[in-house]
Chains A and B, each alone.
Chain A
Amino acid sequence: MPMFNKSEILDTIRMIDQQHLDVRTITMGISLLDCCDADAKTACGKIYDKIVRSAQDLVKTGEDIEREFGIPIVNKRVSVTPMALVAGASDTEDYLPFAQAMDEAAKAVGVNFIGGFSALVQKGMTPADRRLIAAIPQALAQTDLVCSSVNVGSTKAGINMDAVALMGRTVKEAAQLTADRDGFGCAKLVVFCNAVEDNPFMAGAFHGVGEGDRVINVGVSGPGVVHHALQAVKGQSFDVVAETVKKTAFRVTRMGQLVAQEASRRLDVPFGIVDLSLAPTPAVGDSVARILEEMGLETCGTHGTTAALALLNDAVKKGGVMASSSVGGLSGAFIPVSEDEGMIAAAQSGALTLDKLEAMTCVCSVGLDMIAVPGDTPAETIAAIIADEAAIGMVNSKTTAVRLIPAPGKGVGDSVEFGGLLGSAPVMPVHAPSSADFIARGGRIPAPLQSLKN
């Protein structure tokens, strides 16, 4: 009787080798609340020092774990306190240097993104929030690794429509300033409703004020593994589909939990959460859309897609929750168009539209993600898309987000190319009728009733 089970070992190796099983990210959250200073230069110095001091061993530790366990850990990243809260103490109008300090620190420690050039304005905006949002387009154009997010709504506060209007213009401006790179700046900017404080995934990661000084959060992935598992139960009922997804999610999450604990121990930083997300990549065999199609849809985006996604999203959570001591972050299936080979194909074929994607975000994490729209889309239309998405999040008590790229100089039929994990995307049409008067109203959409739910 051997002391190990051969088929289990070979299963694991196949998942890693052929089905793209990986840990998508180890993200260290770092509080910068102790870096506030009346002098902006001093504050930036403190920010740089604290990030470098905290995360100097992060990349090496990740690589060590990768080698010892034989599991790819794709990204090592840092998230920090929403910068508006830190920069607000400084006597300056210009917040760009804060983004530059983040960028330099991220490069010094070798991570591939740093998140937290952020503001939380779901109910109102402080002068610091306004200055930060004003600096976002330049920050995204002039830095390489800084990611930005703004939370414009929540179930408890409602939707700040002034902030929504402002973000419509900010997205447009970010695209213009990076026009030479297809509007790449927008790929690093997320507009949230109900943003979570412990999300390890970029571009929306920040270290919430309710968190400790430092924390390790891990995001797992594995669409390829789920897809492969479902291929073995072709034609069987949805009960079998749900069970299969649950079992697979359990295994994937256990691996993430192990890596998270190991990283936490080695870095001597508390373990925060495992984020149970199915995060696709542009690689063939690593697609969420292909899982939905495996359930029996000819093309992702056709009728039945929302139901298939609802089942998938729920089963991933049910399987994952038991596998981890602490689950958090966004925890759901992601449907970023440019980062998912099957979504790209479905959008190109015309079966997947912006309206269908919006419907899909009602039942999954996170929102309209990495979608290229025509470069001449008005700021008010982008703001209205943000408002629609925020309304879905607000009413359903879930996180929603918008990461749109109004690709400068491009129209429907063109495509944008970002390369790497960010992939490429066909430019998708938006509705032509104007939302300008709607956005011009400003003010707040009140928080919804939490009872009488129908």
Chain B
Amino acid sequence: MRAIVTVIGKDTVGIIAAVCSLLSRHKVNVLDISQTVLQEYFTMIMLVDAGESDLPFADLAELLKQKGEAQGLDIRMQREDIFNAMHRI
């Protein structure tokens, strides 16, 4: 099941590492990644495959959200379908 992970917040050292290690711990494969820093604001978008994950999708999303809150970041994981539905015919 493919999903989009977005991380938005103030840039600090190790954001990508922290998110990637959490994902790999739960067997989520990163397919693509893009990140930019604009006026100190960090935006990362990842396409991931959560099909083999050891956690139910909703729990994984919640875990990422909490992880983000602890670091002052807005992290969310959403099913890819939502973006395709809204922007593709």
**Which A residues are closer than 8 A to B by beta carbons?**
2-6, 8-13, 64, 67-71, 251, 254-255, 257-258
Among A4, A67, A251, point to the contact of B62 (Cβ < 8 A): A67
Residue pair B81, A70 in contact (C-beta under 8 Å):
no
Please measure, in the bound complex, the distance between the C-alpha atom of A422 and the C-alpha atom of B86, giving whole angstroms: 29
A152 to B32 CA separation, bound complex (whole angstroms): 58
Other than the known A5-B87, A8-B87, what 9 A-B pairs have Cβ atoms closer than 8 Å?
A4-B32, A10-B43, A13-B8, A67-B61, A68-B57, A68-B79, A69-B82, A251-B86, A254-B85
- How many angstroms between the C-alpha atoms of A6 and B32 in the bound complex? 12
A12 with B86: CB separation less than 8 A: yes
Residues of A within 8 A of B31 (CB): 3
> Is residue B12 contacting chain A, with contact meaning CB distance below 8 A?
no
Residues A64 and B58 in contact, CB atoms below 8 Å apart: yes
B-side contacts of A10, CB under 8 Å = 6, 43, 45
Contact of B83 among A2, A8, A64, A68 (CB under 8 A): A8
26 of the cross-chain contacts (CB-CB < 8 Å) are A2-B47, A3-B32, A4-B4, A4-B47, A5-B87, A6-B45, A8-B87, A10-B43, A10-B45, A12-B82, A12-B86, A12-B87, A13-B6, A13-B76, A67-B62, A68-B57, A68-B58, A69-B81, A70-B76, A70-B77, A70-B78, A70-B79, A254-B85, A255-B82, A255-B86, A258-B81
**B39: shortest Cβ distance to chain A, in Å?**
15
> Given the complex of chains A and B, what is the CA–CA distance between A251 and B87 in angstroms?
7
The docked-state distance in angstroms from the alpha carbon of A11 to that of B87 is: 10
B38: min CB distance to chain A, Å: 11
| A2 CA / B83 CA spacing, docked (Å) | 15
B: which residues have CB within 8 A of A? 4, 6, 8, 31-32, 34, 43, 45, 47, 57-58, 61-62, 76-83, 85-87
B8 closest partner in A (C-beta): A13
State the Cβ distance, B11 to closest chain A Cβ, in Å: 16
Residues from chain B with a CB closer than 8 A to the CB of A5 are: 87
Q: List residues of chain A with CB within 8 A of the CB of B87.
A: 5, 8, 11-12, 251
A130 to B87, CA, bound (A): 50
Complex contact A68–B78 (CB within 8 A) = yes
Most chain A beta-carbon contacts within 10 A, residue among B58, B79, B82: B82
Q: Is the CB of B79 within 8 A of A69?
A: yes
The answer to whether B85 and A255 have CB atoms under 8 Å apart is: yes
The 5 closest A-B pairs by CB, nearest first: A70-B78, A67-B58, A258-B85, A8-B87, A254-B85
* A6: contacting residue among B34, B57, B76, B85, CB under 8 A: B34
By a CB distance below 8 angstroms, the chain A residues around B61 are 67-68, 70
